[in-house]
Chain A
């Protein structure tokens, strides 16, 4: 697998959206898009598949709720039965608030941890800021340079209507949604 990329920079949100959509429609492989803020519709323009994170959240929420409900039933009805105000030992309404809180806690913290794992973020990881203006006022589109037929001049022409301000070839990406990308240690 190739790890060279063509980087194209744009100055406006509308331009990056249209350029990304066009590149995908023309059959170019989009490695990633770097923007200073979340751009609505970019996921759709990039053609990325919906994240699986919501399923992890859902599963964690459900398991947290079940575990906590079982735990409360076990502690107050099986392990050490306590009569509270003459209510039945297995008084589910009384357990709902805590079950709810634990569901939220599991789902919330679990999602953050799952996100860290999926995106390989961990404490002490070297920061990667390849394109400084991507955190300020520029939008970058990284295309995979797939083979010899990859024609930069043609792409530059293609992006002309979208005010492509800069293209640089053979860029290495420190991280991307791509297994072939090499770690950037400079």
Chain B
């Protein structure tokens, strides 16, 4: 059995679509820049949010590939070009976060040394939370991720195109290292970038919470792109209900895991009821912030859980598409719920300044994704595992 007779279709997005996506993205970026000039106290946070959102999608794509390599999984080979193409989002997201570091004094109260001096709790954290070390760490995380991701994906692409096993072996080694390094660095990064927005508060589960959130968003965007490609007539004979069933199961499981971690964090804060911890939840439950808390749980777990519970819904493309969109919205709500409360303490405000960075980032994600997807064949045609990923009838006789 081999896949030699398979055609290698190429993805060609319509130039009009690409132009529109680029235009929308640039428009979003321009409004963001205007916002930074005129309402810096609100815009920097939304920009940080958009950067973390985009970076999360990109890095989750790499995590997905790494898991496939480490576990020797074959079923996903046919869609592997999708997460491979998400590397561009990791680069773009990292860039946005690096730019957002220019607004460090608007974002992080601990960056103000006079405040640090007068506050004994913050004084004790000064060894970790100081501007040079913080920027250094941010750069270090990004450099480490980019190095390992490129190593995995470069070899993964070569394996898909040339079929030589040594590339697979290289990807596998890099994947194993990456997964360990990712778990540690992404935990620290989410504590640095998000948790330190409220430097009094701490939660030891915060890193896991963010890893899962990013991974769910990555899984849903992989599924979303696969569904879109199939709708546009690509991969129609290769992508079956079984692939979507597997992706749906992963989304279902990790969405539930997200809820598990969310509640684990909530329960301990609620139980101990001490001021440093509980103020975080109080802030997010008073007034109309409560709506965000409820919608967060609804969109990220309740709706996907019941929608994806039976097995047929995971294979139903229209339904899966809707669940993916809800979960991606949920990811934004989750990040908004984590990042914005210190900046909008009275009530959540969502208007042009909050939305502009997302309108830059989401079309930008699709633009970058489609662009790198169009560079080479849409399936890794020579991958040694491809046979395991295709429906059986391709090999009959």
Taking Cβ atoms with an 8 Å cutoff, the residues of A that contact B are 13-14, 17-18, 40-41, 50, 54, 58, 85, 93-94, 96-97, 161
Given the known A-B contacts A94-B271, A96-B263, A96-B267, are A54 and B310 also in contact in the complex, defined by CB atoms under 8 Å?
Answer: yes
Q: Closest CB-CB distance, B5 to chain A, in whole Å?
A: 16
Query: Is the beta-carbon distance between B310 and A14 smaller than 8 angstroms?
Result: no
Chain B residues with Cβ below 8 Å from A41 are 242, 391-392
Chain B residues with Cβ below 8 Å from A18 are 393, 396
A-B residue pairs, 8 tightest by C-beta: A14-B392, A93-B270, A14-B396, A93-B267, A17-B392, A40-B242, A14-B395, A96-B263
Closest to A58 in B: B309
Chain B interface mostly: helix
Q: Closest CB-CB distance, A153 to chain B, in whole Å?
A: 23
Q: Closest CB-CB distance, B344 to chain A, in whole Å?
A: 26
Query: Is the beta-carbon distance between B267 and A97 smaller than 8 angstroms?
Result: yes
B128 interface contact, C-beta 8 A: no
Query: Is the beta-carbon distance between B392 and A93 smaller than 8 angstroms?
Result: no
B266 interface contact, C-beta 8 A: yes
Q: Cα distance A171–B266 when bound, in Å?
A: 61
Q: Cα distance A17–B312 when bound, in Å?
A: 20
Q: Closest CB-CB distance, B65 to chain A, in whole Å?
A: 23
Q: Cα distance A54–B396 when bound, in Å?
A: 33
Chain B residues with Cβ below 8 Å from A58 are 309
Chain A residues with Cβ below 8 Å from B267 are 93-94, 96-97
Q: Cα distance A55–B306 when bound, in Å?
A: 13
Chain A residues with Cβ below 8 Å from B242 are 40-41
Given the known A-B contacts A41-B242, A54-B310, A96-B263, are A13 and B392 also in contact in the complex, defined by CB atoms under 8 Å?
Answer: yes
A-B contact pairs, 16 of them (CB 8 A): A14-B392, A14-B396, A17-B392, A18-B396, A40-B242, A41-B242, A41-B392, A50-B311, A50-B312, A54-B311, A85-B271, A85-B273, A93-B266, A93-B270, A94-B271, A96-B267
Chain A residues with Cβ below 8 Å from B397 are 161
Most chain A C-beta atoms within 10 Å of own C-beta, residue among B266, B273, B396:
B396
Chain B residues with Cβ below 8 Å from A50 are 311-312
Chain A residues with Cβ below 8 Å from B273 are 85
Chain A residues with Cβ below 8 Å from B392 are 13-14, 17, 41
